[in-house]
Structures are given as C-alpha cells and as structure tokens.
Amino acid sequence: MIITMPTTTTTAVAKRLIKLREEGGAVALGRVLTLLVVADANRADEAIDAANVASGEHPCRIIVLSRTTHADPHALDAEIRVGGDAGASEVVVLHAGERAMDHADTLVTPLLLPDAPIVAWWPGEPPADPAHDIVGAMAHRRITDAYGAADPHAALVQLAGSYSPGDTDLAWTRTTVWRGLIAATLDQPPFEPVRSARVEGVTGHPSLDLIGAWLAHVLRCPVEIVRTDDAPALTRVVLSRRSGDISLSRPTGKVAILSQPDQPDHRVALPIRELHECIAEELRRLDPDEMYGDVLTRGLAKVASA
C-alpha cells in the first residue's frame, strides 16, 4: 500500500504512521534500525528495492530523502509505503525542495525510531565528508557507493581524506568474497611471501582500487591495476610467488577459476553481487570496519594503475 501526502510536513507524516500502526496496517515492533537513504530521483527506486529486500534480514524503517525541483523550494511531498510495497519494513519517501533539503536533519528527526541505531546510505555521489554531512552526522554507520560517483577513483581519494570510524563503501563490500577466497588460499602451504600482485577488471570500477589497496596493505607488495573497457566488473587477481602464480579469474562474471602451482584448477561460484546483498551485509555490523579504514587511508596510495 502506498499513501501519498502532497504538500505536507514530517509531523503530519509521523502522525499518519502512528495511525497506520494503531489500525494494524504497519507494525513498528521488531524494527532494529532506521535506514536513511539520500538519493536523487533517478536512483531512489533502485535504492528502495534493494533496501526492501535487505529488510527481510534486517527489519527497519527506511526514510528516503530525495531532492526535487519543486516550484516552492520549501515544499515537501511524502509517500508512505507499507505491506507488500515495503518488504519487512516501513518506507517513507520525502520529496523535498532545495531549501527544505538544507535542513534534512530536522526533516527526518520526527520519523526516527526511538532508541534504534541509525544508518545513512548515499547510493549516488557520496558527500565529501560523510561523518560531518548533515545526515551523516546523525548516523552510527555511513554507507557510500563510489561506484555511483561521476569519478569513482576521485571519490575514493576524497573519502580517504575525510575518513571517520563508521564509514564504509559498497565498493569494498563487493570484494568480500574475493578477499575471503584469496585469504583462504594464502593460508595453505607453501607459506611463501607474495612478490607482486595484479588486479584486472573494468575501467572505472572502484572495487579494483580497493582490493588492490587491500593487497598492498596486508601483503606489503607492489600491486598493479589493469583496466579494460569490456570486462564484467572485477575479473582477475594474480599473486606472484617464488613457486609460481596464484590466479583467481572470473571471465564471465559468474564462475571463477582458482589456479595454483601443482594443483588442479578449482571452479568457484562467484557471481557479481547484487545491490541488496551488499546492503544486507553492511547492515549486519554497526561497529566500525577497521580494515576498511586502514585500506582506504593507508593502502589506497600504494596501488598503481596501468
């Protein structure tokens, strides 16, 4: 069910939510957090769909802030989505004018769940300093997505300069399975140091930068990043050791092949991760991701692009 409330206030929206709850149309009990989504109009629906799927694992109240070009810069239109249109959550979409967005914190405050953690997510262009952004300052965790930026690499560099504990980026989340497989492989004999590493993938994908930075940081070896225009996301990681190369290759974007010296090749299911999978993973933890912070602030400067 979708309820539209044109030219309204957040106080009126909060009262309508209470009325819906009293009527049994929405249940706030069991909501574990508030997810604040700051999205342009062209990204809002995709973000809502992903958050709705993730809410099956993390029941939450989703509040979407979307800037509009309304004739009245102070105008606020709202939608409330419950039931089948909201997954296991309540969704409140606020379409705010330019001046109204300047006070985004006061817009969302009446709608926050009491005594529940707050997570902020920017699906598109990330703010220059998430922790000091007007919405980010309210949040326990702040999720950006450099992949949605006009210049993903520049966005990562900016995020590295303004990093605060509690920040994370979905470009890092997309590498979780890759990092797990690589770490598991290196935990097997022979326990030789990695002399150099190479990361290959599509041009402009920030996950290449972050997995390269991770390798440079934890292995303390030179890392080269090779980009091509026709690759499906991250396609290959090669680690060079004295006994031979370890290669994890995913040419099709679905199945990876793990090759090691003196061992048969292994096929591993490694599909490109969906947006809702990444969001669900990040909502599992509300403590700072210290490894991400180290990789972003200390490892990123160590990688070289070709």
- 163-173 confidence digits (pLDDT tens): 999 999 999 99
Report the pLDDT averaged over residues 178-191. Answer: 95
Return the DSSP state at 187. T
Containing 213, the helix (H) or strand (E) segment is helix 206-219
CA distance 55 to 32: 10
Judgement on whether residues 137 and 185 belong to the same structural domain of the protein: no
Q: Helix (H, G, I), strand (E, B), or coil: what is residue 304?
A: strand
Domain finish residue from 136, 169, 202 = 169
CA distance 267 to 300: 30
Confirm whether 298 is domain-assigned. Answer: no
Q: pLDDT-based confidence at 250, cuts 50/70/90? A: very high
How confident is the prediction for the chain on average, in pLDDT? 92
Note the pLDDT of residue 85.
62
Q: pLDDT-based confidence at 87, cuts 50/70/90? A: low
Judgement on whether residues 49 and 19 belong to the same structural domain of the protein: yes
Q: Which of 221, 213, 229 is nearest to 246 (CA)?
A: 221
CA distance 77 to 96: 7
Report the pLDDT averaged over residues 15-43. Answer: 81
Confirm whether 280 is domain-assigned. Answer: no
Report the pLDDT averaged over residues 62-88. Answer: 84
Judgement on whether residues 28 and 139 belong to the same structural domain of the protein: yes
CA distance 87 to 277: 15
Range with the poorest average pLDDT among 83-87, 131-135, 230-234:
83-87
Confirm whether 135 is domain-assigned. Answer: yes
CA distance 66 to 90: 17
Domain finish residue from 169, 200, 218 = 169
Quick check: 31 pLDDT over 90?
A: no
Range of the domain at 215: 176-275
Note the pLDDT of residue 86.
59
Note the pLDDT of residue 84.
67
Residue type, 146: A
Judgement on whether residues 89 and 18 belong to the same structural domain of the protein: yes
Judgement on whether residues 87 and 190 belong to the same structural domain of the protein: no
Quick check: 306 pLDDT over 80?
A: no
Judgement on whether residues 182 and 165 belong to the same structural domain of the protein: no
> pTM for this structure?
0.94
Confirm whether 133 is domain-assigned. Answer: yes
Confirm whether 129 is domain-assigned. Answer: yes
Judgement on whether residues 42 and 164 belong to the same structural domain of the protein: yes
Confirm whether 285 is domain-assigned. Answer: no
Judgement on whether residues 211 and 165 belong to the same structural domain of the protein: no
Judgement on whether residues 147 and 251 belong to the same structural domain of the protein: no
Judgement on whether residues 143 and 261 belong to the same structural domain of the protein: no
Number of folded domains in the chain? 2
Judgement on whether residues 180 and 151 belong to the same structural domain of the protein: no
Judgement on whether residues 235 and 137 belong to the same structural domain of the protein: no
